[in-house]
Structure 1
């Protein structure tokens, strides 16, 4: 059973605060990309150091999602959410004031830890306040904010970097966050699982350690070498800790931080897999598309952000529509269709060529934006609908964990594939062969977005040919990887259609909704009819005899 303390305020304030916090933490996933050249110049940082600025945040964000949600169920969701918010804001301040790249990377890691708490607990807070059709609308707004934060990252990052300084992409969080903290303290209500057992410290430590090693191995695999001792050791250590976590949780039973019985829920497994595949395909795609517009088409950060507005606008409209559809249309249709649209959008990147303008991306942007907008609201709603309300924090944390692991897998895996493909394509070109042994290094620079700088250092008589070859290699490599991303989205679509079932949802998530209840009844009748068919045929056969 879930209990609440009395407090002033209403559910609208809770939704507003959660949306503001989520917008800020997800914005910092993408906003840094466009500021990396300025950060490099400010600290004279190496490429590896700049990778840590990105990786540290992703690592912190992924490592404690599940543990944060579980702790919130036990200690109070508002309390844990507030602590996470404070950590996020203090780390944002430290990022903005950093005096070298090491301090910036460490602060980014701490910022990710605070963001993980906000990301895990936010959907549970919304689920506690909204029921039935109102829950669908609330998660529609929440899903729109998730998409907008990702899509608006380049635009906001470009505006702050060009207009003020790269430091303001972090410092802007502080005043906005303080205002949201005041509102949450005055208006947000507390909720927790009153019957929860003591904190599962062993489970918390083992799972956090396992996930940290897994994500760190994925993020650093390309730079260190996938077969290198450190990376293999990270994956092996993650597997050992994960095995230990499973043993501990099985012994604790109902007192476990993560109830392993959830894996017997078909829809829980389906939503988790779809979330991972969607994150892997879309986040890596957006990362590469931003790199293409900024580094190949040579638009400034602000201009790059403006050219992604078609994706942003489509996503916002689609998310608003999806919020109202979550209680009118079977969830599996929304989830499956959204991934199919994303797959189509990713495939449409093939319309680009070495000599096309950014407008060749418009069909792709519309498809990706429509799919992402339709995906986020039902995903957030379903993530907590598979359990009783008192376990919402745990369920939300699990789903967000799958999402962040998907982001890490996508950026690491598809990023490595892109770098390898572009490097090979450039080395095989006529201009690349003229460079001889240095073609491989030149191709790696092209894949990393440094093609213009590499061309500038080359002999002047080779510059035109090298520039054309670099552009062709980048675009062709981008298209090839987008086809692979599209294939991953197709698999996610099939999983959504086949393994998300309304009857697997907890009764609290469908009790007030006539449409969903009717869907459960229809599914049950289908099962009953399928089960009775052999008996009917046997009776008929007996009568004929």
Structure 2
């Protein structure tokens, strides 16, 4: 049991943070009816989790390198359970938003510790298997989030949040009982101004993306983009001024494998998962499917993701990693281009090839990505390296959702099947092109390294 504990705790923590990023979406109608608030106010129930997760992921990765992974992991599991209990008992939408913010902060801490914990606990073939299982669980979490959110909402949306409490409690008990006490890995002081400026940069970028996807290019977006640029310049200044305490160490920026992992993480999340809200709108507006039916159709992708990661993940070693990245990106591109099929195939079945191909592509990439993120990285920097790659995923999906929303707004398809066909074709060409470009970049860097 002690040998399996790091894997079980890491997978449970990952399952919680990913499932609860999607589980609320399908339950929104019942939450709106129960708390008597509009969907505009409840949108923050989803967005505040995303913002907190994206904003704090890299800074907390740096903190985990200094405080110790076990300490931060246990505290984060307790915090996630308490925040979930607050959500379950929330009397108003404001309290629910506060609870979701707490979940997002705890989720960022969990994400910052799970992969370094696996890296430190296993080696050789056991490490490849652990990363493959972790990748499979991350795919399954999205499926469970989509489906269970709809099913549990029929019983009561508060149960959606209440179920997280015993799961977090069980993972906390296992971590305390079986994970060894660890000491801080690094004695460097924390660069507080650098962390604050980085957090501000990411927060402003994510909020600007959300506003842009909802309202288009407005003065609010322009102001947010200007502030984001100023925060980024400030962060870069502190990075250069204090290289010994930099949030993202300079040695990481010179690590070619790490840079490749960051690009791939953003590209495949942009394409494979950024398209899902647009597909959901098509299923609802053009085909008039119910939320539960939409969840079932969309869950094809994470279920295929789960099976692919579980079957192929352990076979993807360091020598096959670059080919796996290229193949996964091209499969994602093929899946995006398959969005043209609904123009020829009537009904929801026309979208299944796109769901299956993007699921396979993501399932090929996901198990290999954690090892690439931490290859040739010192143990004292693995928290920030893995967190940066995971933050790149969040940035990719936010940008993908915004880009797809622009296409939907431009064509205004409504319930017109023809307009939706053109919209999906445009989205497929755009997202598929991003994956092809990333695959070509990866192949070029591989040839350069070999030469």
Task: Indicate conservation of the 8 Å contact 1:73/1:192, yes or no.
Answer: no
Q: Deviations over 1:437-477 (max 9, x none)?
A: xxxxxxxxx4xxxxxxxxxxxxxxxxxxxxxx534434442
Larger radius of gyration: 1
Aligned to 1:220: 211
1:478 matches 2:424: yes
**C-alpha deviation, 1:11, in angstroms:** 3.8
Provide the C-alpha distance between the structure 2 equivalents of 1:88 and 1:502, rounded to a whole number of angstroms. Answer: 44
Instruction: Give 2:8's match in structure 1, choosing from 16, 24, 28.
Output: 16
**C-alpha deviation, 1:371, in angstroms:** 0.6
State the TM-score, normalized to the length of structure 1: 0.78
Provide the C-alpha distance between the structure 2 equivalents of 1:109 and 1:266, rounded to a whole number of angstroms. Answer: 35
Instruction: Give 2:342's match in structure 1, choosing from 336, 352, 365.
Output: 352
SS of aligned partner of 1:269: helix
Instruction: Give 1:180's match in structure 2, choosing from 171, 174, 182.
Output: 171
Is the deviation greater in 481-490 or in 74-83?
481-490
Aligned to 2:436: 490
Aligned to 2:144: 152
Instruction: Give 1:399's match in structure 2, choosing from 383, 389, 404.
Output: 389
Q: Deviations over 1:351-408 (max 9, x none)?
A: 1139712222222222111111111111122112241122110111111111111122
Aligned to 2:357: 367
Is the deviation greater in 247-256 or in 130-139?
247-256
Aligned residues: 451
1:331 matches 2:321: yes
Provide the C-alpha distance between the structure 1 equivalents of 2:150 and 2:344, rounded to a whole number of angstroms. Answer: 25
SS of aligned partner of 2:43: helix
Task: Indicate conservation of the 8 Å contact 1:340/1:371, yes or no.
Answer: yes
Q: Deviations over 1:40-78 (max 9, x none)?
A: 323343342232222111101100101111101101111
Instruction: Give 2:118's match in structure 1, choosing from 111, 126, 130.
Output: 126
Matches within 5 A, 1:56-455: 56-162=48-154, 164-192=155-183, 194-223=185-214, 225-228=216-219, 230-327=220-317, 329-353=319-343, 356-421=346-411, 423=412, 426=413, 446=414
Question: How large is the Cα RMSD of the aligned pairs?
Answer: 2.3
> Against the structure 1 CA distance between its residues 488 and 152, is the aligned structure 2 distance closer, same or farther, given a 3 Å change threshold?
farther
Provide the C-alpha distance between the structure 1 equivalents of 2:236 and 2:3, rounded to a whole number of angstroms. Answer: 37
Provide the C-alpha distance between the structure 1 equivalents of 2:150 and 2:310, rounded to a whole number of angstroms. Answer: 26
Unaligned runs of 5+ in 2: none
Task: Indicate conservation of the 8 Å contact 2:65/2:186, yes or no.
Answer: no
**C-alpha deviation, 1:295, in angstroms:** 4.8
Provide the C-alpha distance between the structure 2 equivalents of 1:148 and 1:122, rounded to a whole number of angstroms. Answer: 17
Provide the C-alpha distance between the structure 1 equivalents of 2:186 and 2:35, rounded to a whole number of angstroms. Answer: 51
Provide the C-alpha distance between the structure 1 equivalents of 2:210 and 2:427, rounded to a whole number of angstroms. Answer: 18
**C-alpha deviation, 1:140, in angstroms:** 0.5
1:48 matches 2:47: no
**C-alpha deviation, 1:192, in angstroms:** 5.0
Matches within 5 A, 1:455-534: 469-499=415-445, 523=450, 527=451
Provide the C-alpha distance between the structure 2 equivalents of 1:289 and 1:213, rounded to a whole number of angstroms. Answer: 27
Provide the C-alpha distance between the structure 2 equivalents of 1:192 and 1:390, rounded to a whole number of angstroms. Answer: 11
Provide the C-alpha distance between the structure 1 equivalents of 2:432 and 2:95, rounded to a whole number of angstroms. Answer: 38
**C-alpha deviation, 1:182, in angstroms:** 0.7
Task: Indicate conservation of the 8 Å contact 1:273/1:492, yes or no.
Answer: yes
Is the deviation greater in 25-34 or in 345-354?
345-354
Task: Indicate conservation of the 8 Å contact 2:258/2:374, yes or no.
Answer: no
Task: Indicate conservation of the 8 Å contact 1:196/1:255, yes or no.
Answer: no
